[in-house]
Structure 1
C-alpha cells in the first residue's frame, strides 16, 4: 500500500505557502519530492528524508511526487497554540488544527448560531482547475468581488498542494480559502462543508463562494465511482443554508475519453442524480456543432434545475488575465478552451446575481 524510500535532499526547486518542491537523491536515482513544512518541518539540502513514493511509482499526473513523511535527523518543534480539530484522522500524519467552528475559536460565537448564507451565490464545480476560470469570469464582470474558495476533501487533503490557490490569494482574486471535512491548510478550517460555507460568508465576508475539490480528483470510469459526486452534495448544502447554488458544468472538447466529451457524465450524475435541490445550471453559448451538442446534453438537467444560457463573448480575454496558468487534465486553452469558457461563464452569471 505504501512504497517507502530513504533519500537525501539535493536542492530546493521552488516553494509556495505551505509547500516545498525538492530534488531528492535515492539509491536508484533522483526524484522530485514534495514537503509540507507545517507537518514535517523545513527540509534543507543534505537532510536525510523518509519518503512515500507510491504516487510517483504509479505515474500519477497531479500527484506525481514522492512525499516527504519525516526528516528523522531534525524533527520540528512541537506546535504551540490552540486547536482541537484533528484532520487526516487516524493516519500517521494526522494534524491538529484550530477550527473556526470549535469552542476555542474567536469565530465560534459568530458561527454558533449562523444558519443562513443570506442569498450568497455559490458556484459549484467538479474540478479544481475550474476555480481560476470561474474567478476570471466573475471578476471581469464585477471587479473587486470578495470571493472565497471552499475546499472539500474529495481531492488533495492539504490546501498547500494547490499552487493556484496560493497564487490567486496573493493576487487578491481570493479573499481566503476554507478547508472542510478532512481537508486542511486553509485560512480557515471547519468540520463540515456547511460550516465552511457559513465561515466564508460570515467570517471572511465573502460576496461569492466557489466550492470545488482540491487538485487530484479520483475517478474509476464507473457511473458512481468518482469524487466529483460531491458537487451534487454541495448544491444541496448551499440550498439548505439559503444560498444560491450555481452549477458549473464539467465540459471538454479535448478529452480522449468519450464519457467526458461535451458535458461530462460527472456533471450529469452529480447535478442530475445527487443534487436534490434546485440550482441554476450555466450553459455556455459556445458556437458550432460542439456548442449544439453541449446544449443538447445539458437539456437533460432541465427537469430538475433551471438552465441559464450565458454568452462567452469577451471571456477569452478575461481568462488571459488569470494570474495562474490555466490547465485541466494537462490541457491548456489551446487544447480545451471549452472547459475554461464554461467555468468562466458560471463566474459571469454569479456576478449578475449580485447586481
Structure 2
C-alpha cells in the first residue's frame, strides 16, 4: 500500500501568457510553466476568479501529464495574488465535499430555497420518460432525437457525478442551452441551473420545477473505465434507471453501440450497456435499438440483446430523418475521439432513444378527451 503522505497531485506554478475561448463557466488559458513549457490550461471562474495575462497561477497538471480525460488541460487551482471575493449568495449544500475545492451551492431541495415545498411534496414523475445513457457524448444526439420528433417538447438534462463534476466544463451544455429547459447537477456534480442532493430530487426538480416533458441523464464529460466487468463509471446508468422506476417515470436506455471501437468489448452493444441495464437496472428499462443500420450490425445487436432479462423490452425504432437531423447538430458530435461519420451507429442509437421517449410523453387529460 502507498503511504498516506504520498502526493496524488502534480503541482506546478506558471504565468498566464494568453487567454482563449470562454463558455458557460470555463476559460481557456495558455500558461508558461518552468520545465513544462507552454501548456493549455482551463479555469472555472466561479471557483478561482478570472485569470488575466500576467497572473501567476497554481496548476494541477496530474491528468495533463498522463494525457488523461481532461481535454488535454492543466487545471487552475488558484490565482494566489488575486483571489476572488468571498461568496455572498445563499446555499448550504457542499459539493466536491472535503476536497480542497469544495464549493457551497443552493440546492433545489434545501430548506431555504423557494422550491423546497415543491420538492418536499413531490413523490412522482407522472410517467415522464427519462433517457439514460452511459456517456455525456450521447446527450446532443438524444436531444436531437426528441426535438426532431416533437419540437415542442421541453427537455431537461440531469448530470450525475461519474465524470466531470463541474457542469461548466462541458462546451456541449453551453451550446445546447437554448434547446434545454435547464440543467440539474446532482450528487457531487455542480454548476447546473439547479442543484440537487441526489439523482432522485434532481429528477423531481426536472419534472416539477423545470416543467420538463422528457429528461436525459448521463454522467458529465469524461468516463472512467478499467477494462473490468464492473470497474467503469457507467454502472451508474443502471442505478439511474432504478431511480426513475422508483419515482414512477419510464426508464429508456440509450444503448452504447459501435462498429468502429478498436476494443472488442465495446463493439456491437457495449458491455457497459449490457451490464448497467441488464444487471443493475432491476426495475426494468426499455432498450431502444435503431433501424437503418447494416444487416450485419443489426444482427449483432439482436444477438447481443437476446440475453436481456424480461424486464428489459427491446424496441426497434425507425430512424427516418434522424441522420439528417444529426448532421445539423449545433455541437460537434464526438465520442471517444470519433465523429458522426465513424460512429454513426452510436449517435443514431442515442437519437432513436430520444425519438422513443418523445413518443412516450404522457398526453394531458384534456387532450386525451
TM-score, structure 1 as length reference: 0.98
Query: Does the residue aligned with 1:342 lie in a helix, a strand or coil?
Result: helix
Return the match for 2:213 from 199, 207, 210.
207
Match of 2:324 in 1: 317
Matched, 1:41 2:49: yes
Shift of residue 287 of structure 1? Answer: 2.5
Contact map agreement 2:64 2:70 (CA 8 A) in 1: no
**Where do 5+ consecutive residues of structure 2 fail to align?**
1-7, 364-369
Query: Does the residue aligned with 2:297 lie in a helix, a strand or coil?
Result: helix
Matched, 1:24 2:20: no
Shift of residue 62 of structure 1? Answer: 4.2
Contact map agreement 2:63 2:70 (CA 8 A) in 1: no
| 1:111-150 Cα shifts (integer Å, max 9, x gaps) | 0121000110000000000000001111000002110000
Pairs within 5 Å for 1:60-139: 60-139=68-147
Match of 1:53 in 2: 61
Q: What is the aligned-residue RMSD (CA, Å)? A: 0.9
Shift of residue 303 of structure 1? Answer: 2.4
Matches of 1:120 and 1:344, distance apart in 2: 18
Contact map agreement 1:117 1:201 (CA 8 A) in 2: yes
Matches of 1:133 and 1:216, distance apart in 2: 17
Match of 1:269 in 2: 275
Query: Does the residue aligned with 1:212 lie in a helix, a strand or coil?
Result: strand
Shift of residue 334 of structure 1? Answer: 1.3
Matches of 2:179 and 2:151, distance apart in 1: 9
Matched, 1:298 2:305: yes
Match of 2:250 in 1: 244
Shift of residue 304 of structure 1? Answer: 2.9
Matches of 1:56 and 1:143, distance apart in 2: 40
Shift of residue 61 of structure 1? Answer: 4.0
Query: Does the residue aligned with 1:334 lie in a helix, a strand or coil?
Result: coil
Matches of 1:224 and 1:27, distance apart in 2: 40
Shift of residue 261 of structure 1? Answer: 0.3
Segments of 4+ in structure 1 off by > 2 A?
61-64
Return the match for 1:254 from 257, 260, 265.
260
Match of 1:167 in 2: 175
Match of 1:198 in 2: 204
Match of 1:156 in 2: 164
Matched, 1:5 2:12: yes
Query: Does the residue aligned with 2:251 lie in a helix, a strand or coil?
Result: strand
Matches of 1:126 and 1:238, distance apart in 2: 15
Match of 1:141 in 2: 149
Matches of 2:297 and 2:255, distance apart in 1: 14
Shift of residue 64 of structure 1? Answer: 2.2
**Alignment length, in residue pairs?**
353
Match of 1:228 in 2: 234
Query: Does the residue aligned with 1:115 lie in a helix, a strand or coil?
Result: coil
Matches of 2:43 and 2:161, distance apart in 1: 19
Matches of 1:219 and 1:331, distance apart in 2: 18
